[in-house]
Amino acid sequence: MNNKEITESIEQIEALLTALKYKAKINQPSIDSYHSIGQLSDIVNQYCKTHSITLNDFAILANIGRATLTRTMQEPSNSNIKSVQAILNVMGKNLYIGNPNNEN
């Protein structure tokens, strides 16, 4: 490879990296769409209200017991991760791990 070919290859790689960074940025949910795990109860209650279902119905959809749903809603940070994920899956949400102040 001569210098011209090397320079062109570097430019192509840099263009690809820029495109990937842009794609990653637009596919990342905004900070406004994130919620604290402590808000789980409010989120589930709002979901039930919006979709006109009861908490019993929600528990069935999540494939967990009604008592497990109640316990997880009351203390989500002390709950089994599988229960939290089952609840989130019903609502089409995912669990993300990050810094609370959006720091790197």
User: What's the confidence (pLDDT) of residue 1?
Assistant: 76
Count of structural domains within the chain: 2
**Type of residue at 54:** T
**Tens-digit pLDDT profile for the chain (104 aa)?**
788 888 888 888 888 877 777 666 555 555 557 888 899 999 999 999 999 999 999 999 999 999 999 999 999 989 999 999 999 999 999 888 877 665 55
> Do residue 21 and residue 56 come from a single domain?
no
pLDDT at position 103, please?
Answer: 55
Q: Are residues 50 and 78 in the same domain?
A: yes
Per-residue pLDDT, 44? 95
Same domain, residue pair 79 and 49: yes
For residue 7, give both structure tokens. 């320079």
Q: Is 52 left (phi over 0), alpha (psi -120 to 50) or beta?
A: left
Which helix H or strand E contains 47, and what residues bound it?
Answer: helix 40-50
Cα separation, 46 vs 58, in Å, equals: 12
* Same-domain pairing of 16 and 58: no
Q: pLDDT value at position 15?
A: 83
By CB atoms closer than 10 A (0-12, 13-18, 19+), residue 53 is middle
pTM: 0.66
Q: Which domain holds residue 54?
A: 34-90
